[in-house]
Structure 1
Amino acid sequence: MCVSMTGYGRRLSPLRFPFRLSSAPLRKTAAALASACLLTPLATGCGALPGAGDADGAVTVMTWAPADTSATNMPGMPAMAQAYARWVNSRGGLGGRELRVLTCNEGNDPARAADCARRAVDEGAVAVVGSYSRNSRAALPPLEAAGIPYIGGYGVTDDEFSSPVSYPVNGGQSALLAGNGIQLAGVCERVSLVRPDSVSDSVLSALLNSGLAEGDRRTAADIPAAVDAGEYTEAALASRSRAGDSGGCVTAALGERTAHFFDSFRRLPPDGRQVRVASVLGSVDQPLIDRTGGARGPFEGAYVTGWYPEAGDPRWGGMRDVIRAHAFDDDRIDPADTGVQTTWIAYTVLSQAVASLGEDAPVTSEALLAAFTRGVRVDTGGLTPELRWRYQDMLGEPDFPRMVNHQVTFQVVRGGRLVAQRKGFVDVARTMRKASL
């Protein structure tokens, strides 16, 4: 039997999608007005130009993430952004332009996230890069109104895959769930899904079941549980029971409470069945494996679905070199942390987008948006497939229309380290489309 635990974010509920459609014209109108102001700086009511860059030619961007909160914290992401800026500026900047990185603690709070976005506008940021927020519904509208691109968000919210100024670098939680279903279909006879007890989260099983169907497995048993519970003994017992007598899996999609669920699960009285653990990166990653005992811990042998190659892959060598040389022993930065990795990839996108403008061209938010619309190609050195955000490159499904990277990796924990279970990427686009039907 296997236990799979999935992490952050929720897929957009069909009940919420009509509201999203009705608000889109307002957002597009705001973005159009912002573009008109950029083109006509003296127009009445336009005021200061957001995202217009610095007069001295420097490129100002912002990276935000929560820190010092009681919930999810991602301090390594702004720290990685600052290390990247030190590195690129030591090499002459972005095409001869200094890179200035503003950081902001969004505090896992909608009001603070919106404040970070407004500060990015007020301080002339041309992009928000490599950031994490569960409050995108509050943070993205100020960027949309100002026409400022949101490059490489962590992929934790639905809005990151629908906002007209968002340029995601991974497939978010949706791709991980679809991929996790495919991965578990090859090793598990039956699956139980433990998910938050809410109407919007009832759709989580569709993605997992679509992946399980790739291996002709039956649909997962759906077990709702309170997301704010202190322990999950009842849900753990039910999930183990419904996973069958042998060869079953239990997957939990409870956000930050996933670890609490696993703690309750492992405390269940033994029943003679072997338990293997599976998860997705963002819920279980190398730092967590290390903290829980490595090869002697509960995740030894675990199957893990991720967005990127395993942390020990040579393709992360460039990032590791930058951290060693420019992070100055900053213990916030762990090269095995998925947030740090996402920030590195996002700044790689920024660098290549700026390079596409030419050395003498001004770097503005409008210029970056135009570069993405033209189809600038971004090579991340094999950490993702080639990234491109033209209309024809996007998945176009109602729940995640702006997704361009719908590939995942399959990993396994061996000797306390995440290593590749299967070489290369697995494309889950077809699986995700089937889940939307």
Structure 2
Amino acid sequence: MTGYGGQRPRGSTRLRRSISSISTTATVFAACSAVGAGLLTGCGVLPGVAGGSREPITVMTWAPDGTSATNVPGMPAMAKAFARWVNASGGIDGHELNVLTCNEHNTPAGASDCARRAVKEKAVAVVGSYSQYGSAFLPPLEVAGIPYLGGYGISDQEFTSALSYPVNGGQAALIAGSGRQLAQDCEQVSLVRPDTIAGDVLPTVLNAGLLAAHRGPVADIRTTEDAGDYTAEARRALAQAGADPALVGRIGPRAAAQKAGKGCVTAVLGDRTETFFDSFRRVESDGQKVRVASVIGSIGQPLIDRTGGKDGPFEGAYVTGWYPEGDDPRWDPMKKVIREQAFGDNDIDAADPAVQTAWIAYTVLKKLIESIGQDSVRAVDVVRTLNKGVIVDTGGLTPELRWRFEDMLAAPDFPRIVNRQVTFQVVREGRLVSLKKGFTDVGSTLETSAANG
């Protein structure tokens, strides 16, 4: 890949730099010593000496905000809070962390503009960001050799680019896990998803999860992701899941209710998932109830809370996630940082998977910088450290993360997925709680989807 992997020049040039550095250091030391110990304050700490300040590190985080579709202000806000936290304690291994943020406006042009700004500002990485337009933002980063670390996982290119280092399995892992989760109880499944490039992969992956339990293929219902009403899609989804109102007259109310009870409707529309289920509950019959489901990012605790909690439409819903549920104590360090550095910031919700992903991505960055241990850190240093196989422990929020070739997935559409784990959750008494203890590996399901794709 162009733009990274170069070696530091060797030979006489390096020797001259070393001699010059030694000479300068000796001169400064002599000057400071001459004025006496009582006046050393103005001299400061010598460059390169342990305990001294190192060069600042610049990174970027981007996400859409103020758009008519999905908005993710929590990622940049969490990035800024993380920077305030580490800088209050001397930075990362002595490096001040400078976080630049960018609104990609949920457009290809916006994503490309943010990437070009990261290049211009000499960012060493783009960290914990959200954009579905990987084909727009990754080429500028690849040319400049800037790694894309811990993206939200919404674009396919995040799992194919050699400069992308994801911390989760993206939408693909969620949908594969959702298929596995729904297959336990659902004889017929309807999927409502955006009619986009990113959405086109979802039916195949969901079918792979259903196939593992010998269930039939999903009913694929495409729609726009910025609609204000989804009544037509809700009616189609119900009918395809076995809750067609016409069945009441044909097979009777009791049999129709039983058939509907074996059906499931899942919607993956980001912020518009709430709009869909608002339309859905207006057309669903009390006598033909189906199970509803989605994935984290489309349904989360904030949405459950504002739609009525245990009395709302999501009670009993299956939700597939990447990480432990929001009440898990493994999130306590993140919550402490939010309390200390972002109190009153309404953009940050500890239960938001975008905020959680940003926290994990910056946790990875911190450990990378600490492992590099240099006064100056460039993008090439970050890439080299990642490719050498540094192992990152995220405190149990994910499995240990590593991005060597042998850690990759045997699926051509998602080879960069190194974290194949998902969590099965359910809404119970208005709270998202664990349905199954621990993580579930969906790597084989993703490989099956690739083989069937």
Superposition TM-score, scaled by structure 1 size? 0.85
Deviation at 1:228, TM superposition (A): 5.3
Q: How many residues align?
A: 392
- Cα 1:272–1:101 shift into 2, 3 Å: same
Deviation at 1:107, TM superposition (A): 1.5
1:419: which partner in 2?
433
Deviation digits for residues 236-260 of structure 1, max 9, x if unmatched? 2232222222311122344544333
2:71: which partner in 1?
73
The 5-angstrom pairing of residues 286-325 of structure 1 reads 286-325=301-340
The 5-angstrom pairing of residues 402-417 of structure 1 reads 402-417=416-431
2:229: which partner in 1?
231
Counting helix residues as a fraction of each chain, which structure ranks higher?
Answer: 2
| Paired residues of 2:125 and 2:147 also in contact (CA < 8 A) | yes
Is 1:377 matched up with 2:391?
yes
Paired residue type of 1:219: P
Deviation digits for residues 125-181 of structure 1, max 9, x if unmatched? 111111111222211111111101110001010011111211001111111111001
Partner residue of 2:274 out of 259, 271, 290: 259
Q: How far apart, in 1, do the equivalents of 2:197 and 2:376 lie?
A: 47
Deviation digits for residues 110-131 of structure 1, max 9, x if unmatched? 2222222122111121111111
Paired residue type of 2:338: I
- Does 1 or 2 have the higher relative contact order (CA < 8 Å, sep 6+)? 1
Deviation digits for residues 275-318 of structure 1, max 9, x if unmatched? 33211001001111111111221111111000111011000000
The 5-angstrom pairing of residues 209-358 of structure 1 reads 209-225=207-223, 227=225, 229-244=227-242, 245=259, 246-268=261-283, 270=285, 272-358=287-373
Is 1:392 matched up with 2:406?
yes
Is 1:107 matched up with 2:122?
no
Deviation digits for residues 46-77 of structure 1, max 9, x if unmatched? xxxxxxxxx96111111111122222111111
- Cα 1:101–1:270 shift into 2, 3 Å: same
Deviation at 1:344, TM superposition (A): 0.2
- Cα 1:200–1:350 shift into 2, 3 Å: closer
1:140: which partner in 2?
138
RMSD over aligned CA atoms reads: 2.1
- Cα 1:235–1:311 shift into 2, 3 Å: same
Q: How far apart, in 2, do the equivalents of 1:433 and 1:136 lie?
A: 22
Deviation at 1:39, TM superposition (A): 6.3
Deviation at 1:188, TM superposition (A): 1.6
- Cα 1:410–1:434 shift into 2, 3 Å: same
- The higher radius of gyration belongs to 2
Say which SS state the counterpart of residue 223 (structure 1) adopts. strand
Paired residue type of 2:404: R
| Paired residues of 1:396 and 1:403 also in contact (CA < 8 A) | no
- Cα 1:80–1:196 shift into 2, 3 Å: closer
Paired residue type of 1:162: T
2:80: which partner in 1?
82
1:177: which partner in 2?
175
Partner residue of 1:168 out of 153, 158, 166: 166
| Paired residues of 1:396 and 1:402 also in contact (CA < 8 A) | no
Percent identity over paired residues: 61
Deviation digits for residues 201-228 of structure 1, max 9, x if unmatched? 5543221111112222222233344555
- Cα 1:288–1:211 shift into 2, 3 Å: same
1:22: which partner in 2?
none
Deviation at 1:37, TM superposition (A): 9.5
Paired residue type of 1:148: I
Q: How far apart, in 2, do the equivalents of 1:111 and 1:203 lie?
A: 23
